[in-house]
Amino acid sequence: MRNARIAKTVRGAPLLIAAAVVVLFSFGQTVTAAELDNRIFTFFQAEQFEYRLSDGKDRLKWDAQGWIGGDYNKLWLKTEGEKVFDGGVEEAEIQLLYSRIIHPFWDIQIGGRYDVRPQPQRGFGVIGVQGLAPYFFEVDAAAFVSDEGDVSARLKGEYELLLTQKLILQPSVELNFAAQEVEDLGIGSGLTDVELGLRLRYEFVREFAPYIGINWESTIGNTADFAREEGEDVDSLSFVAGVRFWF
């Protein structure tokens, strides 16, 4: 009887060893996942770094953002602006934001924005959301409150259409709104301006892609009236050439 029990134990040993291996492997995977949650990553992307050729005013345009953090919490830096060739910087802003994931593919962001140009320089509080909407539309929406109490908002959206694995067509839209007039800056209330773009890029590698395209901008409503009073164009069409890169 004793020998029979020993034989059964010996025969069951491989099963026990296999079970132990599975448990240890699962534990190891759990620890690794926990460690990964605490890792710090970095990311930077210049979505637009381009030359804009338009009637009478050629410009350099940049729109870039980057972050440092983990899966749930990140610190974002965003900047965008324009510089006229043979001239100075007409527009330049910097945002520093804290973000927290609130849903798969969506973050809520809060922080500050500082406009270096145009004059006068202004600071803003920022709250917004950024993420991937259904059908893979990338969305960045934010509300701003300036140090003068002016309230405004911005909505950006873009979509990537893969013509081939390397050739990608990207339409984009940007809408800006203001809750009240800011006459010193030539901003009217309501929808202030619209920007539409269409860019075709070729990804030599995913991290580096030159592109060409067109971009149309137009001021709207009272903002357009302010522009006309200053003798400025209310809309412009530009041909663009640039490079998109990230690391």
Residue spans per domain, the chain: 1-39, 41-246
CA distance 243 to 202: 10
CA distance 234 to 238: 13
CA distance 237 to 54: 6
| H or E element at residue 93 | strand 89-103
Query: Which listed CATH number (3.40.50.300, 2.40.160.40, 2.70.98.40, 2.30.40.10) goes with 41-246?
Result: 2.40.160.40
Mean pLDDT comparison of 28-32, 62-66, 132-136, 185-189, highest-scoring range: 62-66
Measured over the CA atoms of residue 174, residue 175, residue 178 and residue 179, the dihedral's sign is negative
In tens, the pLDDT along 30-52 reads 444 445 557 899 999 999 999 99
In tens, the pLDDT along 123-155 reads 999 999 999 999 999 999 999 999 999 999 999
CA distance 84 to 243: 18
